Structure 1
């Protein structure tokens, strides 16, 4: 008999980026983005979620978001920078999640839109109160984050396996 393990996935969209004359992958955070990334980390710490693992896009703005966000957590989780998360489709992100070690209870994924929003919507079969409506109405702004709960093993994550339990933006 198997025991269901409660797990959480936090889907964080990178913070607001600047638009200098560099390749998209190399765009840094704007001043507002640096502030919002820290505020987002404070919110997660206050929500009592401490990721065991962070999967982060290799884009400069995602890495900078993660560094500032992590500085506000009670402990820094193991981090894996994965180039597959840059310009990934929701299905490609799910494939990366399917590779996560089963010892991980809480996972944070730092990525990009429109994928992050689409992935949150795709994974959530149900939602807490008006959480999905708020997420969809907001357009999932930069530094927005969704917390999804599930009991399936990581290798079995697929559309409709989770509950959208929280959605937060820096301007809530």
Structure 2
């Protein structure tokens, strides 16, 4: 069984003139990222690998969440996650080393939310607010993962 944690970046600032990719977390976003790390730790999540969009807000989400969850976790920054469609994210999952048991993916909406819906087969899923995560389990090898292959076993949002 493999575990996939899909984490949406925490709340980001809107700064006029700053490119979207460079938007940082707000102070609330920093707190929410730390709380997400704590919520994952309480659930016993121990990432073998973290794949993260290279945007500033996702990098900062990873930094603050992992400082609480697993400071020694390996993080790979994947440019393909930024502005990715769900199919792009599934392709990324399929390239995951089969030895990885627990994978954390940190990205952006709508892609990450649609990924969760596709993997679980849920079409009218609740909102996936900034800083939210879903924990999915699958019995399918990463190389073959696809629609309906995931079971959501936990969900958390900053307002929980």
Residue 76 of structure 1, CA deviation = 2.7
Q: RMSD of the alignment, in Å?
A: 1.4
Q: Deviations over 1:70-105 (max 9, x none)?
A: 000145321100000000000001111111100100
Scaled by the length of structure 1, the TM-score of the pair is 0.89
The equivalent residue for 2:104 is 108
Scaled by the length of structure 2, the TM-score of the pair is 0.95
The equivalent residue for 2:143 is 155
Q: Deviations over 1:98-130 (max 9, x none)?
A: 11100100000000001111110100147xxxx
Unaligned runs of 5+ in 2: none
Query: After the TM superposition, which parts of structure 1 deviate over 6 Å for at least 4 consecutive aligned residues?
Result: none
The reply to whether residue 8 of structure 1 matches residue 8 of structure 2 is no
The reply to whether residue 83 of structure 1 matches residue 79 of structure 2 is yes
* Separation (CA, whole Å) in 2 of partners of 1:78 and 1:24: 25
3-state DSSP of counterpart to 1:142:
coil
CA contact (8 A) 1:57 1:82 kept: yes
CA contact (8 A) 1:50 1:75 kept: no
